[in-house]
Amino acid sequence: MTDYKDIEELNRTAIEILRRNSREERYTVPAQKLYPFQWNWDSCFVAEGLATSSEDRAWTEIETLFRSQWESGKVPHIVFHKDAPSYFPGPDRWRCANTPPTSGITQPPVAATKVRAIYETAKDNDRADKALAYLIPRILKWHHWFHNERDPNGSGLIAAYHPWETGRDNSPEWDEPLKSVPLETLKPYTRRDTDLVPAAQRPVKEEYDRFVALLDLFVANNYIQKRLYDITPFKVADIGLNSILLRANRDLLWLVETTGHQGHHAEQIKDWIEAQEQALGQFWNDETECFHSLDLISGAPIPDITAAAFLPFYGGDLPEQFHEPLLKRFAAWAGKVEFMVPGFDPFNPKFHAERYWRGPVWPIMNYMIGNGLHDHGYGDQALRIGTDTARLIAAHGFMEYFNAYTAEGLGGHDFSWTASSWLCHANRYYAATL
Ligand code: DGY
């Protein structure tokens, strides 16, 4: 039983966090010092939370992000609106010629899904229409970029070139593929994240070295995507990013068919969905009876299983044959940990209860997995996820991530997407925890 806190007070705190993390009424930082700029998928999750108190501010959040879209269609993972010395790597290292400066990689594309969610509950139709007119062509351009630049052979498998593009930076899945990233020419750098969060909760130095070395390689190649497709030493098809894009394509199709914006692109989107649906089986392993990310350089499935293995439910219309084995795994994990869903397989010896994407529970992952299960009719599992998330946040605050055994809050404090996940997902389950 959770210590009783008034739901209205929790809602107010969540809204207040979003207000405090808002900058110039245009964008929201994920957390005050740890992440002092605008992050791509954070911002889209945050927009949905903002919409609960201001639709206009919600639309502005996503519009601001898309103002920094590259000519190629890529939407960068960070927009450096203002200088902030508390973060590394900043614009000097990324060396992208944009104003404001941006990073040179992307992040999981949740924009279409959040635009649809905000649109479906919008009361101000004029503002919504203005937002759609601006955003839909740009989201189309971004998805086009994923399908063309990151899947030039039309395989339906979309490549990530950097662990940060998967959003699950230091997942054990990337340990092996990262070993091919050369470190010989790595220039010195100073991390800032471990000044702000205990080192045991963040990626280790060996990972960070390779994160930065990859970034330097992209700079040296002027971010030319098709060249990078052939030469990047790290190239994975992440089951998370691929499921998120599949879901985003479905929501984009809904938007163009329903709202009258860019309706002539419907066939193109259907082709993308079909290619992705056909590729889904390649992520499946008959021995483990689970989805795995793929190393596109070695061609091999990556053995480690993470919470992202449940994201194909969120991807939508998941063929029946995959349900039972995934639900069996869900039940095994649920019997092992106190709080679902641990970011990494709790039966794997590499599980780490505190270290970022190597074990802790992340409210936004829970939001996506919970919704996916719910949409496929698995209400009990969705309830378990929703109530666990509500208990974690109500007891330990709006932290970045949580220990799946002890509930301890970890990482950044007053975290924007945790506040948003509360407002859009977890608070619906709070009453059931009391
Ligand atoms: C970080 O700096 O830890 C981010 O996840 C990279 O975008």
Closest Cα to atom 7 of ligand 1:
164
pLDDT one-digit tens code per residue, 6-38: 999 999 999 999 999 999 999 999 999 899 999
Give, using CA atoms, the residue closest to atom 4 of ligand 1. Answer: 164
Looking at the CA of residue 169, tell me the nearest atom of ligand 1: 5
Selection from 387, 396, 403 nearest residue 10 by Cα: 396
Asked if 55 and 128 count as a contact pair (C-beta separation under 8 A), the reply is yes
Do you find a cis peptide bond into 91, omega within 30 degrees of 0? no
Which atom belonging to ligand 1 lies closest to the Cα atom of 39? 7
Which of 169, 174, 358 should be mutated for ligand 1, with most atoms under 8 A from CB?
A: 169
As beta bridge partners, residue 28 has 22
∠ CA 333-340-244, nearest 5°, is 100
Give the C-alpha separation, 355 to 198, whole Å. 10
Ligand 1 center from residue 164 Cα (angstroms): 6
pLDDT digits (tens, 9 = 90+) for 388-418: 999 999 999 999 999 999 999 999 999 999 9
Cα(183)–Cα(214) distance, integer angstroms:
9
434 residues of the chain, pLDDT tens digit each: 446 789 999 999 999 999 999 999 999 999 998 999 999 999 999 999 999 999 999 999 999 999 999 999 999 999 999 999 889 999 999 999 999 999 999 999 999 999 999 999 999 999 999 999 999 999 999 999 999 999 999 999 999 999 999 999 999 999 999 999 999 989 999 999 999 999 999 999 999 999 999 999 999 999 998 899 999 999 999 999 999 999 999 999 999 999 999 999 999 999 999 999 999 999 999 999 999 999 999 999 999 999 999 999 999 999 999 999 999 999 999 999 999 999 999 999 999 999 999 999 999 999 999 999 999 999 999 999 999 999 999 999 999 999 999 999 999 999 999 999 999 999 999 999 98
Q: How far is the CA of 61 from the centre of ligand 1 (A)?
A: 20
Question: Which residues have C-beta within 8 Å of that of residue 10, sequence separation ≥ 6?
Answer: 393, 394, 422, 427, 430
CB count in 10 Å sphere of residue 351: 19
Pick the catalytic residue: 169, 173, 304, 354? Answer: 169
Active site annotation includes 165: no
- How much distance in Å is there from the Cα of 190 to the middle of ligand 1? 14
Task: At 216, list the tokens.
Answer: 């330097």
Q: What is the CA(67)–ligand 1 centre distance, in A? A: 21
Ligand 1 proximity of 164 Cβ (cutoff 6 Å)? yes
Residue 77, ligand 1, Cβ within 6 A: yes
What is the atom index within ligand 1 of the atom nearest the CA of 103?
7
Ligand 1 touching residue 400 (CB < 6 A): no
The pTM score is 0.98
Residue 400 annotated as catalytic: yes
Query: Could you tell me the distance, in angstroms and rounded to a whole number, from the CA of residue 290 to the centre of ligand 1?
Result: 28
